[in-house]
A = this chain, B = another copy of it.
Amino acid sequence: MSEVHVARRALLRERCAASAPQDGPADAVLVTRPANIRYLTGRPPHGSALLLGPDGVDTLLGPANPETSLQHHGGSSSDDLRTDRLENCEGDTAVAAADLAVSAGARSLAVEEHHITVARHRAMASVADGLHLTGLACPVEQQRVVKDEEEIAALRIAAEITDQALGELLESILVGRTERHLALELERRLIDHGAEGSAFPTSVATGRNSGLGQHRPTDRRVEEGDFLSVRLGAQYHGYRCQIGRTFVIGTAPEDWQVELYDIVFAAQRAGREALTPGTACSDVDRATRQVLDAAGHAGALGFVTGHGVGLEISEDPRLSPGAMGKLDACVPVTIEPGVHLPGQGGVRIDDTLVVRPAADGGPELLTITTKELLAL
């Protein structure tokens, strides 16, 4: 993997040199956002800062805590990445990086202004007198949007694990169990099947709670006749996927349940089918949204109907009315519409898919658990 990381850092340097803001490109670049550090180094990012120095040397500065796991303590490692630990135990790695940038001859340093706080920025400016701090915008986030096949393979395994965990739950007795317990059992099963952990907190919603995307599991027990909506995902090699499904408890769903399910299913299918390279992100959102609008559920949706996934569970692109840009091939996204009727419950259906050209068979569905309305 280390060659991959070297190449990613080289590409970032090229992009930064080419982007050239008003005053010309910065001499050095500082990356502090954890997922970006992981993407560029493959290392656990906790509390670290990655400096791409003016001298061509890349340095990962880690906190002093003897327990954190930078692989090397000072000196070069196999992938041309220097690693250093702070000597000053209470120091800030970004501040130390600014200091190091000056020592290495940098006169300007581009920082992730969307991640670094005002207070930290000021501390950097005060230690590195004469160093001009500029904004880095989001080139690493942009690099992360299109995944390579190794990244997609990790997501595919994450999705397999997720499908397995969910499949096992569906075979067990559900009536009488609480949302909290079902969520914990799903998380345990993710681990059982090889996940590093949950991609995000598992949501299990029953009865009146069903269909709420961000619902936190409560002590409510599953009852006959309930809708049961679940949303979960595994993390594997750092990559996070997402699935959402809604079931009905008991043998005969009521008419309103079947009707609502069909609407959300149609909206979700419309979104999935819109996933082709070159399609505007806002058009994918519209495809999903207009099915719900036509059925009188215009107000049900939040401001996105899907989003990219990868080292973070919600990353670029956003599928929303105001989203800019178009989809590329090899971009994994979710399609996740839902309708919640207050006091009654609702339906969510979420999938993770990879955008692929029609010639390659169209969008690759990673989360393959059935979307039929199962009565459990």
Contact = CB atoms under 8 A, between A and B. Distances in A.
Q: Choose among A67, A68, A180, A181 the residue with the greatest number of B CB atoms under 10 Å from its CB.
A: A67
A117 B114 contact: yes
Secondary structure at the A interface, as helix, strand, loop or mixed, is loop
Given A90-B322, A114-B117, A118-B118, A303 B191 contact: no
A344 interface: no
A42 to B, nearest CB: 16
A65 interface: yes
B300 A66 contact: yes
A67 B303 contact: no
Interface in A30-89: 64-68, 89
Q: How many copies does the complex hold?
A: 2
A64 B184 CA distance: 29
A122 interface: yes
A320 B90 CA distance: 9
A214 B181 contact: no
Contacts of A122: 113
B302 A65 contact: yes
B212 A67 contact: yes
5 contacts: A67-B212, A67-B213, A113-B118, A115-B117, A118-B135
